[in-house]
Structure 1
Amino acid sequence: MNPLRLLAGKPRATPRAATRETLSFTLDNGATVDVLRVRDPRARRIKLSVSERGARLTLPIRASEIAGRRFVLEHGDWLMAQLAHNGSAAPALEPHVTASIPLRGGQLPVVWSEGRALRLATAGGVLVATVPANVRDAALRRALRDFYEAEARADIGRWLPPLLPTLPRAPSRIALKVMSSQWGSLAPNGTMALDLALVLARPSAFEYVLVHELCHLIRADHSPAFWHEVEQRFPAWHAERDYFQAEGRRLKAAMRTLLAG
C-alpha cells in the first residue's frame, strides 16, 4: 500500500447538490399553501422561511419527509402570518377580469377591450388594455412589463435632469430589473440598476432610491459623507427608508406575481 495514501487519510465525499421540489400542505385551519422544499447537504437543521418568493422548507440530507411535514404543520399559524405579511396584494393579470393594477402607491383602473393587436396604454386616468381574443399569458405579461418600465422611465425622466448638475457625471446607463433583495445598485462603469417594483411604490420612495444611487457617483460607500450628499438632495430620506422596511416585501411580491403569472 502506498504510505502517502495512509497519511492523506480517507478522501472527502463530494457534497451532493441541493434538490428542490414544491409541495402542497394543508394546514390545521384548512388553508392549502405551496412550500418549496429544499434538501440541502449544507443544512444542519430543519428551517422554515418566507420571502417575497414564497415559503421555503430547508431539510438536512438525513431529515425525513415526515419530520419536514410535521415541522410545517406545527408552525402553520406562523407561516400564514408571514405569508400575509410578505404576500402580494396583486393577483396575476387576467383579461376582462382584473379591475385594477398597482401603480405609484395606488391602484390604476383597467378597462378591457378586444382588438387585433395587444396594447396597454393610459388614457383619462385608466389603463386601456386592448387584447386579442386568444391572447397568451406570456404575451400579456411581457406587455405589462413594458408598460411598467415605460412608466418608471417617465418618472426617472422627471427627477433626473435637476439632479445632474450636482453630480460629477451622469450614469452611463439605467437598467430596470426585477431584483430579489436590493432596490438599486451602481456598477463601477456607471451602470445603474433599479428594481422595477419601485414603480409600484409611492413616488417619493422611488425618487429617494434614485437619489441614493446617484449619490454613489460621488461616494461609493455608505459613510457619513455619503449620507450628507443624500440629505442635501433628499432631506426626507429617513421616512422613505422606513416605508421600504414596512412595505418593501409586499411591493416585490406584487411585481413578481404580476409578471410571473
Structure 2
Amino acid sequence: MQSLLRRLISSRPQTLERDVVTLTLEQGQRVDIKRVRDPRAKRIKLSVDERGARLTLPARASLVSGDRFLLEHRQWLLAQLEIYTSHDTLPLLVRETTAALPLRGESVPLLWHEGRYARLSLSEHALHFHAPARASDATLRRALREFYEAEARTDIGRWLPKYLPSLPRAPTRLRLKVMSSQWGSLSPDGSLALDLALVLGRESAFEYVLVHELCHLLHADHSRNFWREVEARFPAWRGEREYFHAEGRKLKGSLRALLSGQATDAT
C-alpha cells in the first residue's frame, strides 16, 4: 500500500502528445490532420471543426491503428471538409478594409475613424471603430472582443429579470468565453459560462441558450423535468436548436477568425 501511494504521489501528470499526419484522399487532396495522444481518451476519435481535422488516440492505441482508422473514415472526412469549404471565407478584422461585422444575426456596416485609443461603438445605423493610426492588429482585436462582451452582457441584462423570479437562486457569476463545442455551461457552484459567439447570432437563439443554462439551476441533467422547465419559459426552443445546427459552426468560426486574425473556411 505504501509503495502504491508513493508511486501515485511521485508520478508526473500525463500530458498530451501532438504531431501532424498527412492523409491523401481518393480525389488526390492532401489533408494535414492534427494527431493527439490523450491519456484521458477511451477510444480513437476523428473530428473536424473550424480549426481543421483532429485524430485523438488513447494512450495505448498504436499509430498503425490510428492510420487504419483514418483510412476507414476517409469518406466521412471528405464530406466534412466539403461542408467547411462550401461557404465563404470567414471574416477578418483589417483596418480600413473590413466594412461590416456580424452582430445579433446581421452584418452591420463598419466605419473607421481616427481616435486617441481603440474603441468600438454602435449607433443606430452602423458600427464605429475609433483607433490611433499606429494601433496594432492585436489592439484592434482586443477592442473588438471588449465590444462583443459588453454587447453580450447588455443582452443578458435585458433578459435575466424576466427569468430570475421563477428560479431558486441567481447564478453566482457570469463568464463569456470562446468555446470550442458548447454554447454554455453551469458549474455546480452556480457559475454560468456562455459562448461569446452567441452575440454574433440572432437574439432569440442567444436568449434560448441563457434559458437552457438557467434551467440547470432547477435540474442538473437533461431529464424530462428539465425540458419541461425550458418549454415553460421558452416554448420556441426547438427552432433555436435547429438554428444552431445550421449556423452554429459558422458563428463559432467567425468569432475565432475575427479575434485571432487567422482566416479559415466557414462550416
Instruction: Give your verdict on TM over 0.5.
Output: yes
Q: CA offsets, 1:34-74, max 9 Å, x none?
A: 6535578999x9986421322335687655xx999999999
Distance verdict in 2 for CA 1:226–1:26, change over 3 Å: closer
3-state SS in 1 of match to 2:174: strand
Determine if contact 1:50/1:82 at 8 Å carries over to the other structure.
Answer: no
Query: What CA deviation, in whole Å up to 9, does each residue of 1:46-105 have, x standing for no partner?
Result: 986421322335687655xx99999999989536413236x7753220000001111111
Question: Retained in 1: the 8 A contact 2:119–2:144?
Answer: no
User: SS of the counterpart of 1:108?
Assistant: strand
**1:188–1:139: structure 2 CA closer, same or farther, 3 Å change rule?**
same
TM-score by length of 2: 0.76
Change (3 A) 1:164 1:260: same
Q: Which runs of 5+ in 1 are unaligned?
A: 1-15
**d(CA) in 1 for partners of 2:143 and 2:62?**
42
Q: Would the aligned equivalents of 1:88 and 1:253 in 2 still touch at CA under 8 Å?
A: no
- Say whether residues 1:131 and 2:144 are aligned partners: no
Structure 2 match to 1:54:
52
CA distance in 2, matches of 1:252, 1:167: 29
The amino acid that maps onto 1:56 is R
TM-score between both structures, scaled by the size of structure 1: 0.77
SS in 2 for 1:149: helix
Q: What value does the CA root-mean-square deviation take over the aligned residues?
A: 3.5
- Rate the CA distance shift 1:216–1:40 in 2: closer, same or farther, 3 A: closer
* Aligned positions of 1:91-106 closer than 5 A: 91-106=91-106
Counterparts of 2:226 and 2:171 in 1: how far apart (Å)?
17
Query: Which entry has the higher C-alpha Rg, 1 or 2?
Result: 1
The one-letter code sitting in structure 1 at the alignment partner of 2:155 is D
Alignment of 1:104-253 (within 5 A): 104-253=104-253
Give distance in 2, aligned partners of 1:229 and 1:146. Answer: 33
Is the 1:108–1:126 Cα contact (8 Å) retained in structure 2? yes
Aligned residues: 245
Cα shift at 1:151: 0.7
Deviation at 1:20, TM superposition (A): 3.3
